[in-house]
């Protein structure tokens, strides 16, 4: 013969039924006491303000008892809250019944005092555990979003968030919003730098560039590292020339910056950039292709320069 499942192992519907049954038993017991003590219904012997307050407390506990069966709470936490609310309900409903009892019973007084005090403590502890768990879950979710959407090395948005932001900008432009522009940046001769100074120095260059982008861009603009030494900038509410000038300022500032290796060796880097404006009917692929073609043209024309996408720009098959 199989063992019967514990209450904590039962379905939410079973626990709800158990809660409701307990509430009904307490309610029937209270009504029985009232019916047995008929003379207790005299107006002069009943503190109706106390009855109203305790009834409200009992009703509130009953509502919470019903609600804890709905959300996906851990069984241990659900049981803890259930016990606390049940004790609180029993204490409150016993206090109401005590107002209609003509004889003062020590047992009833003890039940109502102990039930309410212990019920409040247990229920509050359970609710504290619940709030702590919700906070921990939200914190974990935020940390997962950071891991999913941001580059660990630079702190900028990664390829995933880059794709999402560009698609959203294209969709907004198609709905009559102000124009947006995309700039693709690539550190020149980055492989040579890595071979000469090592990958740690290469990482330092990428962090320097990411900090520069964050400090030089407007609040409405966003920078991303979408792969290796490749960066993307999404300019909002600007035309092609404004985006080109912004990319040019970044190019000049990066070329003028001096970087020092851990051995004290001074070196500098340059970057090339391609800029394209969001056009009507653009897709993610067409916009990215035009910006990438402009970037390739900048590389092809000698690096350390900014090019804008042009209808006459040749599509070159390989990147430098």
Question: Running DSSP on this structure, what letter comes out for residue 235?
Answer: E
Joined together, the tokens standing for residue 204 give: 């330092």
b (16+ CB within 10 A) / e for 77-90: bbbbbbebbbbbbb
229 is catalytic: yes
b (16+ CB within 10 A) / e for 129-146: bbeeeeeeeeeeeeeeee
Q: Which of 112, 201, 229, 293 is catalytic?
A: 229
Joined together, the tokens standing for residue 118 give: 């212990």
Classify residue 43 by burial, with Cβ atoms within 10 Å: 0-12, 13-18, 19+. exposed
Which residue blocks in the chain are alpha helix, DSSP H?
12-36, 48-67, 75-99, 106-149, 159-174, 190-197, 199-216, 240-256, 284-300
Helix (H, G, I), strand (E, B) or coil at 290: helix
Nearest to 85 by CA among 9, 20, 134, 40: 20
Residues designated catalytic: 229
């Amino acid at each position: 013969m199989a063992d019967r499942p514990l209450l904590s192992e039962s379905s939410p519907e079973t626990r709800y039924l158990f809660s409701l049954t307990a509430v009904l038993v307490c309610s029937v017991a209270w009504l029985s006491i009232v019916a047995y003590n008929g003379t207790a219904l005299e107006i002069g012997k009943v503190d109706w303000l106390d009855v109203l307050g305790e009834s409200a407390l009992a009703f509130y506990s009953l509502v919470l008892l019903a609600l804890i069966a709905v959300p996906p709470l851990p069984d241990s936490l659900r049981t803890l809250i259930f016990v606390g609310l049940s004790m609180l309900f029993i204490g409150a409903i016993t206090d109401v019944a005590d107002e209609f009892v003509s004889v003062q019973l020590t047992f009833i007084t003890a039940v109502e005092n102990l039930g309410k005090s212990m019920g409040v403590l247990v229920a509050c502890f359970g609710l504290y555990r619940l709030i702590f768990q919700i906070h921990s879950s939200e914190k974990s979710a935020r940390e997962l979003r950071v891991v999913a959407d941001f580059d660990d090395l630079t702190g900028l948005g990664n390829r995933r968030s880059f794709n999402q932001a560009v698609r959203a900008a294209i969709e907004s432009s198609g709905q009559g919003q102000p124009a947006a522009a995309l700039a693709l940046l690539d550190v020149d001769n980055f492989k040579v730098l890595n071979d000469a100074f090592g990958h740690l120095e290469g990482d330092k260059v990428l962090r320097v560039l990411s900090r520069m982008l964050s400090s030089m861009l407007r609040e409405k603009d966003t920078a991303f590292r979408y792969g290796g030494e490749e960066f993307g900038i999404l300019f909002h509410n600007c035309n092609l020339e404004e985006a080109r000038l912004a990319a040019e300022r970044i190019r000049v500032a990066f070329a003028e910056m001096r970087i020092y290796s851990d051995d004290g060796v001074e070196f500098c880097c340059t970057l090339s950039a391609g800029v394209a404006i969001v056009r009507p009917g653009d897709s993610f692929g067409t916009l990215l292709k035009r910006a990438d073609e402009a970037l390739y043209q900048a590389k092809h024309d000698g690096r350390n320069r900014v090019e804008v996408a042009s209808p006459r720009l040749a599509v070159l098959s390989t990147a430098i």
